[in-house]
Chains A and B, each alone.
Chain A
């Protein structure tokens, strides 16, 4: 669990600002996943990326949300023009291959929109 590094751990943004969440996968892992957890809910899949490619973004809201995993550097989840409903915990996970049982989650980034 500790191997997937997320930052910031806590982020406060005013409505209309941008939020950028970063994720460094575990060493040797090239598959990155982002999940969102609303209060009192389970995690919901957002997007799956490999280096320089978005493989599946079926869980991402169509507007304001984007994700990337560049050749160098961490994966970034970007939320533009945040609204109160974006307040949630955003979890990054990584795996060495495509297999749910080897997915390891980071400690999360808690976004609060005021």
Chain B
């Protein structure tokens, strides 16, 4: 089956620093999604990307859909304590495709 490799697995950063994480795949995805999951909660959609090369921002978050359609990255600028959580990338392989393939997540810790 399709697999997403997400890195890094975990990060410890100082408050105010910028953060970057990425996902790569051996197969092509037509949609890339980035979710955040807080402990004991469900994933919440942060950014959705629909076109190769697309760069989309949501506040301090910026994500890009790789040109090859096999990768995506998420940047968080000027991190704050409430950014703590696990960030997941997810890919969707085609129009009308309902299955999401998730990465294993990047656990972010922010030191005040």
Q: Which residues of A contact B (CB under 8 A)?
A: 1, 4, 31, 33, 35, 40-45, 48, 56, 59, 91, 95, 98-101, 103-108, 110
Q: Which residues of B contact A (CB under 8 A)?
A: 4, 6, 31, 33, 35, 40-45, 48, 50, 88, 90, 92, 96-105
| A43 near B33: Cβ-Cβ < 8 Å | no
Which A residues touch B4, using CB under 8 A?
A: 42
| Distance in angstroms between the alpha carbons of A56 and B99 in the assembled complex | 10
Contact of A1 among B31, B42, B96 (CB under 8 A): B42
Question: What are 16 contact pairs spanning A and B, CB under 8 A?
Answer: A1-B41, A31-B98, A42-B88, A43-B43, A44-B102, A48-B98, A98-B97, A100-B31, A100-B97, A100-B100, A101-B48, A101-B50, A101-B92, A103-B45, A103-B100, A105-B35
| Distance in angstroms between the alpha carbons of A100 and B100 in the assembled complex | 7
| Distance in angstroms between the alpha carbons of A35 and B43 in the assembled complex | 11
Closest to B103 in A: A42
Contact of A98 among B48, B96, B104 (CB under 8 A): B96
Closest to A104 in B: B45
9 interchain residue pairs of minimum CB distance: A42-B102, A100-B92, A105-B42, A101-B48, A43-B102, A107-B42, A45-B99, A42-B104, A98-B98
| B31 near A33: Cβ-Cβ < 8 Å | no
Closest to A48 in B: B98
Known: A100-B92, A101-B48. A41 touches B104 (CB 8 A): yes
| A107 near B100: Cβ-Cβ < 8 Å | no
| B42 near A101: Cβ-Cβ < 8 Å | no
| B98 near A91: Cβ-Cβ < 8 Å | no
| A107 near B41: Cβ-Cβ < 8 Å | yes
| A1 near B44: Cβ-Cβ < 8 Å | yes
